[in-house]
Amino acid sequence: MKNLPNLRRTAAAGLAVLLSLALAACFVMPGKFAATLDLRKDGTFTYTYKGEMLVIGLTKMAQMIMAPKKAEPFAASPCYKDDGDTERPCTKAELAQQKSDWEAEAKKKADKAAAELETFKKMFGGIDPNDPKAAEELAARMRGQTGWKSVVYKGNGTYDVDIAISGRLDYDFSFPTIERMPGVTAFLVANRRANGEVRIDSPLMQAAALSTPMGNAAQTMMQSKMPGNGDVPDFPQANGTFTLITDGVILANNTEKGATAVPTGKQLTWDVSGHNPIAPYALIGLGK
């Protein structure tokens, strides 16, 4: 069992790396949801998203990793004779040096933790994720944005949201954007081309569907109850549908069943879950 402390440190470091990747690559993720984009050939559109939205930095798993760590008390290391094997009492000078080294290392860790917290706070637009009021503060910020009709915090980093955004696609459209949070990767991007075409992609839904970086694969590894970790809290997985309805020309798409006719045009539907690792894609021709 001599290697147990090292194993615990390795496990904790692995969790921290996964969380860092998640925060850097996809700060916000979908849970259970239904999303639609109604795109008219004159360029007008309405995008709706109803369901769960997961803020990774507020999950219990993130809190486990980001919580301030108590420094372990100083414990002297053994001293040895010249043969390197026979233990002997440490001199006062050796003990003083060990304690000095321990204090320097403790300060280094504390400074690193403080710097990491400041980085997280910047990603949250100044909100401290360790603050019990952080979740509601972020909810209030979301509610203040146009189209965010309802935002309810359910706990464990999960918000229940009801969003409807309308406009004219004379410009590129990206969802979601959250005020003062530059690290949010889009669930959906619509790029308007000069020739009247619109390319629609869903990069984050691809990441969620592929279980990276914080999807099922990471969850399975974390739930393996590695020594020192205990039970790792669960968090929602992407599970929903994205529907595109348009009276424009469908030039390309990667749905499994293709377009179906509806009263207002044609409809494309994608399943977005861990069972379907295909990122929604479509190319729509609008009227020039």
Residue ranges of domains in the chain: 4-67+130-285, 68-128
For 44-77, the pLDDT digits (tens) are: 999 999 999 988 777 766 666 666 667 788 899 9
Contact 33, 49 (CB under 8 A): yes
Give the pLDDT confidence score for residue 162 in this predicted structure: 98
The pLDDT mean for the chain works out to: 79
Cis ω for the linkage preceding 176 (within 30 of 0): yes
pTM summary value: 0.72
Closest CA relative to residue 37, chosen from 29, 48, 26, 27: 48
Among 212, 190, 208, smallest CA distance to 200 is for 190
pLDDT one-digit tens code per residue, 189-242: 999 999 999 999 987 765 554 444 444 434 443 444 344 445 555 656 778 999
